[in-house]
Amino acid sequence: MPQPLADVLAEVRELLLDPGLTRAVAAGRRRGFTPSVTRAELRPVTLKAGARLQIVTDDGARPTTRNVVPGPEAAEAVDSLLAEPFGNWHIETASSTVQVRITKKGDAQIHRASASRDSAAADHDRTKQWLLDPGDPLFEVIGGNAAKRRQIDAFLRALEATLPAELPPTLRVVDLGCGNAYLTFAAYRYLAGRGVSVEVVGVDVREDQRVRNSAVAESLGCSDDVSFVAGTISSASLPFEPDLVLALHACDTATDEALARAVGWSASWVLAAPCCHHDIAAQLKGRTAPAPFGELTRHAIMRERFADVLTDTLRASLLRLNGYRVDVVEFIDSAHTPRNLMLRARRTGAAPTSAQLSEYASLVEEWGVKPALSTMLPS
Ligand SMILES: C[S@@+](CC[C@H](N)C(=O)[O-])C[C@H]1O[C@@H](n2cnc3c(N)ncnc32)[C@H](O)[C@@H]1O
């Protein structure tokens, strides 16, 4: 049954400004009108500065994020969105879902459903299924196809498994070789969502990535907390010594540069997903394998795979010798990417045992290799 538009919008206004709001989306257009943005999404967020109403609007080219203070500022922002000729509003609160469709005649049809126990349970399952809500504005910026969401989720689960249940009140994070930074932003959104203050710096040798990633941080409204530096992993200077070091798919020995820096900073946690491995592979080529392992390196493909294993084994050993407890895990199953191994390290500060020292020494001696990381570690 159509109702006067003004009455319905007054009800929508109350819901949007209510603390019980979960999420709301405005989209579509009324007959004969075009809103200034194609879509608007509102959700409550908790930032370092306190509670905010986050408003993400999309003009069809790119999203813009504003975080407004509850009260008069939020009311003004909501009023200007309600004045836009959107065709639909969808509002979810803790207790109900309200859908509004504006008819061709300019009236409103409203459908209200209370959040049943089943749908509340389904919501709970959905949010448990993904560590970062698929509705997070990040996915609007980076594109949210299923493979990317799965990769982000696998990464966040590895992060969750590495960090303690109780995080320090401030967490300083560096992402070395951050590339287009979607994992950097995912880490930020996830950690900030755990209620701690998070500062993140992404480092990449490419200046164009710095410029692009800084613009993304602006559009997500997090440029105070997430910044980018153009420079090499081994020499970039950071505004802080990080607690958490990420190095995801940094090419070849760039992973070693990242691990060496993490050790130099005495970072508490390190997550490294190595990428291509050429260093040890090149050293094994043309060298006689210790008996009885000749078969392992006779065929190029076997030598390559063995070199990958030996490289990451030696990296894990060197981290252990430098006071880290290390787990080597599958990052994401290999159907999604062949680079599916991750070193997860937590600093314990423990001195190496003599067994660990001699194991490492005999491994490099038997195979006649000198891992890049061993030449980079602070002495
Ligand atoms: C394969 S991309 C991975 C990007 C991102 N970490 C991810 O997993 O999606 C590797 C990135 O590392 C950067 N890179 C490689 N070697 C580097 C170095 N030595 N110093 C800084 N950046 C480096 C490259 O420019 C590239 O953007």
Q: Where are the domains of the chain?
A: 5-127, 130-376
Q: Write out the chain's pLDDT in tens, 379 residues.
A: 788 999 999 999 999 999 889 888 888 888 888 899 888 889 988 877 888 999 988 887 777 889 999 999 999 999 999 999 998 898 888 888 888 888 888 889 888 877 654 454 444 444 457 888 877 888 888 876 777 888 899 899 999 999 998 888 899 999 999 999 999 999 999 998 878 889 999 999 999 999 999 999 998 888 989 999 999 999 999 999 999 999 999 988 999 999 999 999 999 999 999 987 789 999 998 788 998 998 888 888 888 889 999 999 999 999 999 999 999 998 875 554 555 799 999 999 999 999 999 999 999 999 999 999 999 998 7
Q: Looking at residue 82, what is its pLDDT?
A: 95
Helix (H) or strand (E) holding 360: helix 354-367
C-beta neighbour count of 56 within 10 angstroms: 23
Cβ atoms of residues 226 and 214 within 8 Å: no
Q: Where are the alpha helices (DSSP H) in 221-341?
A: 254-265, 279-284, 294-298, 300-321
- Ligand 1 atom 26: the closest Cα is on which residue? 179
Residue with tokens 């291509």: 276
CA of 260 from ligand 1 middle (Å) equals: 16
Give the pLDDT confidence score for residue 58 in this predicted structure.
81
CATH 3.40.50.150 is right for the domain spanning 130-376: yes
In a mutational test of the pocket of ligand 1, which residue from 206, 212, 245, 271 has the highest number of ligand atoms less than 8 Å from its CB? Answer: 206
Q: For ligand 1, which residues put their CB under 6 angstroms from it? A: 177-179, 183, 203-206, 209, 232-233, 248-251, 254, 257, 275
Question: Tokens in use for 83?
Answer: 């004045």
CA of 367 relative to ligand 1 center, distance in Å: 29
pLDDT score, position 27: 81
Ligand 1 pocket mutation pick from 180, 205, 275 by most atoms within 8 angstroms of CB: 205
Do residues 204 and 228 lie in contact, with contact meaning Cβ atoms separated by under 8 Å?
A: yes
CA of 63 to the centre of ligand 1 (A): 26
Atom 14 in ligand 1: residue holding the nearest Cα: 177
- Residue whose CA lies nearest to ligand 1 atom number 27: 179
For residue 292, with 0-12 CB atoms within 10 Å meaning exposed, 13-18 middle and 19 or more buried, which class applies? exposed
Q: Residue 144 gets which letter from DSSP? A: -
Please give the single-letter amino acid code of residue 25: V
What is the C-alpha to C-alpha distance for residues 72 and 371, in angstroms, rounded to an integer? 60
Tell the residue nearest (CA) to atom 13 of ligand 1: 177
Residue type, 348: T
